[in-house]
Structure 1
Amino acid sequence: MMPQRICSLNNAPVTKGPVVYWMSRDQRVADNWALVHAQALALERQVPLAVAFTLAPAFLGATLRQYAFMLKGLAETARRLADLNIPFYLLHGEPPDEICRFARLHDIGTVVTDFDPLRVKRAWREEAAVRLEIPVVEVDAHNIVPCRLASGKLEFGAYTLRPKIQRLLPDFLHEFPPLQHHPFPWPSPPETFAVDSVLATLAIDRTVPEAAWLLPGEAEGHQRLAAFIAHGLASYDCRRNDPCADGQSGLSPYLHFGQLAPQRVALEARRHHPSSPSALAFLEELIVRRELSDNFCLYNPFYDSVQGFPSWGVRTHDEHRHDRREYVYSREQFAAAATHDPLWNAAQREMVTTGRMHGYLRMYWAKKILEWTPTPEDALATAIYLNDRYQLDGRDPNGYAGIAWSIGGVHDRAWGERPVFGKIRYMNAAGCKRKFDVREYIRRYQGDH
């Protein structure tokens, strides 16, 4: 494994004892650089290896929809690990407390964890690294080019990050080594947890039901990838922006929960469609745009605040802060899809009922929230709340960056000035009608759908 993926989070000396992989963002067995590194350390030291996941009692407004998808995927992960003689522990409580308690209880010698740019995850890792007197090592198992290596600063946009990633990509986009059946057994491994029993213990919002249209887990993610490569990738470039065409990959929930490695997706896309326009368009989104979102959240401490907008975006919002809004809706009206705009309402209903929304419509959806709320602060908070409550892939750098692009001009440029928006790029229903069959999309997501 390329050592540039690894970042030591403390300076604690190496000690004897088992290795634990503190799984968080990358919830899979196959194609997982953090697990590969953890096993390499354990084999080198001839010690047992375990995987631990710390289940926080609440996480950024996640509901039953997201917790159930995640836990069902983790149950599959636990079974796959058991086949490799690696036990899986599901720990309940505040993550830094639980991983420190686990490390002391089992005389752990090293903690390996995965990379996540979100503030709350970084705070968990940093607290654990301070409290533990053993090495805590972070491995970027999510980005193809490690985020910190790709750039050491906040990038202006895709055009500044793209050449940096393209220069490094040949060094990192290669096959994963296989995991071994671990030869050093863990004493008294735990039983596999029961998903329904765990869900019953959580004090979470159960009014947002599970998404019925897809199954969670590593195996299902790989099946959906294979189906997309076989039947969807060739036409991706001409179908991706049409919400009625079912032209997107459908892989976002699996990538968000780490049930599928972006690197595996890129490898398969390049293997089967090495240089087609559709493959190039897909890889641009999968690699450059997705890793740009991680860059945004890693280096901008205000990625979910108006303070995180570029200076021109902050300025234009201040200049138009008191512009008259033709319509103003409450958060509850937005959630209920009770606006005057049938297209916006249909997009909101799609998200509420399915846990997804087409990427093109997400932009329109967020920009109309800006147009119909009293302030940009209200707009940003409402968009994040709705996105994270209903989307399976909410609470993700892609979501924060996409909303900040739509509302604050992040990774964009200034456009012609207009009321409310100022110089923020504008979208309207007429533009959507030129892109796709708006009437058909609305029909699909009528109020009684």
Structure 2
Amino acid sequence: MLVNKKRIEKINKSQLKKGEFVAYWMQASPRLEYNQALGYAIEKANELNQPLLIFFLIDAKFPEAKTAHFKFMLQGLKELKTKLKNEDFNFYLIDYNKLEDIKQITKKASLLISEKAYLKHLRKWKNQVAAKVKIPFYLVESNLICPIEEVSDKEEYAAYTIRKKINKIKNEYLKEYQLQRLKNKNKIEFENKNLKFVKNLNQYLENKNFELQQDLSDHFRGGYKAAKLKLNDFLKNKLKDYEEKRNIPHLNFQSDLSPYLHFGQIAAQEIALAALNSEYDEKSFLEELIVRRELAFNFVYYNQNYDGSLKDILYDWAYQSLMEHQADEREYLYTYQELENAKTHDKYWNAAQKEMLLTGKMHNYMRMYWGKKILEWNSDPEEAYQWALKLNNKYSLDGRDANSYAGVAWIFSKHDRAWKERKIFGKVRYMNAAGLERKFEMEKYIAKINELTN
């Protein structure tokens, strides 16, 4: 099955050279299933009758990545390594040090392929590589259902503005996809000059002194196999009641697939098709998976200040409203350390923070409440935004993701509408403990989190 050409972008001007193999830099899609970047690499290898080199760069200095993030990623890579070996692919894991590593890896390649990037540090990395290598460099959209630039050529205002654009084209892309068979499986040998190959992933993790030595394996284990188990459980036991129960904190009627989507261990395309083929109503779930998720990617792609100043990401009414109420008296003010250690007066907020610390994921509804309180308990909305991002990126397995940046920005009104003006929040949406108690059995949520600490 051929990759849709609208998913493919050439990002440098180098021409095809007569090399020895096609190179695929696997970075955002470490999987075999529904991986159009790998699919395009196989297409080009077959077209040139050359073998395929797949390499994954493990960057120990990756921004904000901690032990739990690396462990989750490496668990997936360990499973993938076995699958690729069984399929006779040339696959190398490399301890990344500098750009020169990629130039050396691709020295004898005919061309280079990788996945589309959205966050600015990843876009910068791939653009630097494009300028460095002397071969064509293609990026393939493999982690979104609809190609981002096909949906829109600008930052969208809200879900209602992007929804109609996605719905107009999604049927062209929301289709089953299978890899072609790679014809040439000759072994590829290349110079081992200054490259550090990673052969033992467990040993690699032990040797690196990463910050935050927590183990979340009881709650989330990395890899496609674990992702499929989560997906099948969701479809069988949760999708039927998803609309009614997804916001109830003490229940877990969410898919729990966001960490796997973030690390590219399963494709949104595969998840969406599985939901469409289920016996239950999938509309509410697909609204989150496709419309809301792709709105988040639109945000970070077209607004590269997504982790910077609120002034550059919020609508004028929201930013002005927050600034006008900046001097409002707050009943409680907390330091970053007090928040990080769940040391506030609010037992529901503390429970949400502990859930994230202990499991690597917070219930989505509680994450909204959690963020609103960070805004309320800090007299500087700009600092509150940075604190919320920092905590989420540090402790959530699905942090450092387009969805995370958009989700935290939503707390400050991104993609939301104006509400009745009030103290501190101005016209930004407000949430409080009384609202939680009115809607949910919050003591059951507290008891659930307490069980995790015992």
Query: Is the pair's TM-score, using the shorter chain for normalization, greater than 0.5?
Result: yes
Aligned to 2:150: 149
Cα displacement (A) at 1:188: 4.2
1:127-157, CA deviations, whole angstroms, 9 ceiling, x for partnerless residues?
A: 0001111111000101100111111100001
Indicate the residue corresponding to 1:378 in structure 2: 383
Counting only pairs closer than 5 Å after superposition, residues 10-409 of structure 1 correspond to structure 2 as: 10-17=12-19, 18-94=21-97, 96-104=99-107, 107-188=108-189, 193-273=199-279, 276=280, 278-305=281-308, 306=310, 307-407=312-412, 409=413
Relative to structure 1, the CA distance from residue 280 to residue 11 in structure 2 (aligned partners, 3 Å threshold; closer, same or farther) is same
Give the C-alpha shift of residue 225 in structure 1.
1.1
Q: Is 343-352 or 17-26 further displaced after alignment?
A: 17-26
Q: CA deviation at 1:10?
A: 0.7
* Cα distance between partner residues in 2 of 1:178 and 1:141: 13
The one-letter amino acid paired with 1:48 is P
How far did 1:56 drift?
Answer: 1.5
Distance 1:179 1:384, change over 3 A: same
SS in 1 for 2:277: helix
Q: Per-residue displacement from partner, 1:56-75 (whole Å, max 9, x unpaired)?
A: 12222221111000011011
Measure the CA separation in 1 of the matches of 2:143 and 2:247: 26
Aligned to 2:8: 6
Name which of structure 1's ranges 11-20 and 156-165 shifts more when overlaid on structure 2: 11-20
Task: Read off the aligned partner of 1:387 and give its amino acid letter.
Answer: N
Q: Which stretch has the larger CA shift, 187-196 or 35-44?
A: 187-196
Q: Is the 8 A contact 1:54 1:98 kept in 2?
A: no
Q: State the SS of the aligned residue for 1:7.
A: strand
* SS of residue matched to 1:419: coil
Q: Verify the 8 A CA contact 1:86 1:182 in the aligned structure 2.
A: no
Distance 1:38 1:246 in 2: 39
SS where residue 321 of structure 2 aligns?
helix
Shift, 1:250, TM fit: 1.3
The CA deviation at 1:215 is 2.1
Deviation at 1:267, TM superposition (A): 0.5
User: Do the aligned residues in 2 keep the contact of 1:31 with 1:264 (CA within 8 Å)?
Assistant: yes
CA shift digits 1:17-68 (9 cap, x unpaired): 2111111111111110100001000011011102111111222222111100
**1:71 and 1:216 mapped to 2: Cα distance?**
7
Residue 228 of structure 1 aligns to which amino acid in structure 2? Answer: F
* 1:431 equivalent in structure 2: 435
SS in 2 for 1:249: coil
For 1:418 and 1:54, locate their aligned partners in 2 and report how far apart those are by CA, in whole Å. 49
SS of 2:415 mapped into structure 1: coil
Q: Distance in 1 between matches of 2:445 and 2:237?
A: 22
With over 3 angstroms needed to count, the CA separation of the structure-2 counterparts of 1:169 and 1:197, relative to structure 1, is: same
Partners of 2:134 and 2:453 lie apart in 1 by 58
Structure 2 contact 250–448 (Cα < 8 Å) conserved: no
SS in 2 for 1:272: coil
* Distance in 1 (alpha carbons) for counterparts of 2:97 and 2:326: 39
Paired residue secondary structure (1:297): helix
Please state whether the residue corresponding to 2:206 is helix, strand or coil: helix
Q: Residue 384 of structure 1: CA displacement?
A: 0.9
Confirm or deny: 8 A CA contact 2:46 2:182 kept in the other structure.
no
Q: Percent same amino acid at aligned positions?
A: 38
Between 1:143-152 and 1:209-218, the stretch displaced more is 209-218
- Report the alpha carbon displacement of residue 181 of structure 1 after superposing the two structures with TM: 4.7
Residues 95 and 198 in structure 2, CA contact (< 8 A), matched pair in contact too: no
**8 Å contact 1:56–1:95 — kept in the other structure?**
no
Q: Kindly tell me the number of residue pairs found equivalent between the two proteins.
A: 443
Could you tell me which of 417, 422, 425 is aligned with 1:421? 425
Distance in 2 (CA, whole Å) between partners of 1:180 and 1:30 is 13
Partner of 1:411: 415
Q: CA-to-partner distance for each residue in 1:343-366, whole Å, 9 max, x for gaps?
A: 000000000011111111110000
Residue 302 of structure 1 and its aligned partner are, at CA, apart by: 1.0
Query: Is the CA contact 2:155–2:298 (under 8 Å) kept in the aligned structure 1?
Result: yes
